[in-house]
Amino acid sequence: MKLARFALSFVAAAALVGCGSTVKLEDPAPVVKADQTPAPVQPKVEPKPAESAVKQVDLSAELLASVANSRVIYFDFDSDAVKPEYQDTVAKHANRLTKDKKVNLLLEGHTDERGGREYNLALGQRRAESVAKSLTLLGASGGQIESVSFGKERPAAQGSDEAAWAKNRRVELKDK
C-alpha cells in the first residue's frame, strides 16, 4: 500500500514538472505612447497564379481527326474477313471508341451487285459484324456499335466490272 502511494506521488510530481512554463511574467508589455501612431499594416498581396505553359488539347477532336480519312474498309469477293491492310484503321476507330465513351458508330455493310438480294443482305451484315467484333476485341464497347446491312442496294460505284465491284464490297464507319 505504501508503495502504491509512493508511486502515485511520484507520477503527480512528474506531471507538475512537465507542465512548467518558459514564459517570464516579469517582462513588461511594450507600451505605445499616445502621440505615437502604430505603423499601418500593409495588406497582403496575393501572388498571381503563374500562366500555365501546358497547352490544352481537345482529345475528341484529335481522335476524330485521326480517323477522318479512314472511314471505309474493303473486302475480297464473297468474304467477311477484315484484310490485314485495314487492321490499322480498325485499331484507330477502336482507340477512339475506348477513349471517348460518348462516340457511337454505325457500321454499314455493303456488297457488289453479284448474288441474290437476301444473300447480299446477309453478307453485308456479316461484314459489318466482322468489323464490330474486331472493334470490341480491341476494347470498344458493344453498346457503342451498331451494325446494319444494305447489301447491294447502295453501291459506291456504278458499273459491272471488277473495279466497281471492289469499291462496292465495303463497310462504312459512320458516327451516329
Fold of the domain spanning 80-175:
60s Ribosomal Protein L30; Chain: A; (3.30.1330)
In tens, the pLDDT along 4-59 reads: 776 667 666 666 665 565 656 566 666 656 666 666 667 777 777 666 677 665 66
Residues 163, 45: Cα–Cα separation, whole Å: 73
Residues 86, 70: Cα–Cα separation, whole Å: 9
Mean pLDDT over 76-89 rounds to 94
| pLDDT value of position 176 | 87
pLDDT band at 82 (very low <50, low <70, confident <90, very high): very high
| pLDDT value of position 67 | 74
- Coil, helix or strand for 172? strand
What residue spans define the domains of the chain? Answer: 80-175
Of 65 and 149, the one with more pLDDT? 149
DSSP codes, 80-141 = -PPPGGGHHHHHHHHHHHHH-TT--EEEEEE--S-S-HHHHHHHHHHHHHHHHHHHHHTT--
| pLDDT value of position 79 | 95
Mean pLDDT over 122-133 rounds to 97
pLDDT band at 113 (very low <50, low <70, confident <90, very high): very high
| pLDDT value of position 155 | 93
pLDDT of 83 over the 90 cut: yes
